[in-house]
Structure 1
Amino acid sequence: MDESSTRTQWQHFYDTAVWQRLRRLQLTHEPLCKMCLARGVVTPARVADHVEPHNGDWNKFRLGPLQSLCFDCHDIHKRRIDLHGYSSDIDDDGWPIDPRHPANKVR
């Protein structure tokens, strides 16, 4: 079973009153995008993102930690981290800042 068909099995979680309340609380407590703020950019958050993927586990979905993100950070940057295990953000010298990035591994 591929990821997209698995995702449709738990997509209805996002329609529940529990999720709508959690999302509203998260965005009220953290109205700015966490990833943008880390780069010094102020951007309104629109997504309550699960810090750790829940993969359809109802308990992780309801009780797992959340963070506030803008659409771009959620759909691009967070997705890249989920897929590769590290961020591709770079510092002023052009070097990856994420210690998990392959370029930062001790040779």
Structure 2
Amino acid sequence: MARLSNLKPMLGTMPPRLGTPGPANERERSSLRSKTEPSFKWLNSARWKKLRLEVLVRDRFTCRMCKRIEPDTSRLVADHVIPHRNDQVKFWEGELQTLCRTCHSTTKQKEEAAMPKGVWY
């Protein structure tokens, strides 16, 4: 019969899976994502900034969901209609729309969360 004490050294080396603390705030979460997700590098590029401004001008600084005109571009998001999920081709060639931060953070995120996991267009 096996002795249970033999399992103890093995369990001590396993990394904890439950109760591990995540990022404490949005700044830490963003910092972690910027190191792990390739799309964060693309978002900081001059190419993206130019493309974003073209989309905002094309849509006349108007949110496509709530139709609100927002002259402050820091409150607008150039949103991918179909999520790119770090696919470089979809990121650069996908259809973009202008959304205000409120619609992007609430309505759009709820729509994406309702999509089946692992199934993208």
Partner in structure 1 of residue 47 of structure 2: 18
Gaps of 5+ in 1: 86-107
Q: How big is each residue's C-alpha offset from its partner over 1:7-57, in whole Å with a ceiling of 9 and x where there is no partner?
A: 7322111011111111000001111000002xxxx3326110000111111
RMSD (CA atoms): 1.9
Q: How big is each residue's C-alpha offset from its partner over 1:36-85, in whole Å with a ceiling of 9 and x where there is no partner?
A: 02xxxx33261100001111111111110000000000011100000014
Gaps of 5+ in 2: 1-28, 116-121
**One-letter code aligned to 2:57:** T
Q: Could you tell me how far apart the structure 2 residues matched to 1:33 and 1:82 are?
A: 18
Consecutive aligned runs of 4 or more in structure 1 exceeding 2 Å deviation:
4-8
**One-letter code aligned to 1:43:** I
Q: Could you tell me how far apart the structure 2 residues matched to 1:56 and 1:6 are?
A: 12
Q: Percent identity?
A: 35
**One-letter code aligned to 2:69:** T
Q: Could you tell me how far apart the structure 2 residues matched to 1:6 and 1:47 are?
A: 18
Partner in structure 1 of residue 56 of structure 2: 27
Give the number of aligned pairs. Answer: 78
Q: Could you tell me how far apart the structure 2 residues matched to 1:14 and 1:63 are?
A: 14
Change beyond 3 A, Cα 1:55–1:6: farther
- After TM superposition, the score normalised by the length of structure 1 is 0.65
**Is residue 80 of structure 1 aligned with residue 114 of structure 2?**
no
Larger radius of gyration: 2
Secondary structure in structure 2 of the residue aligned to 1:49: strand
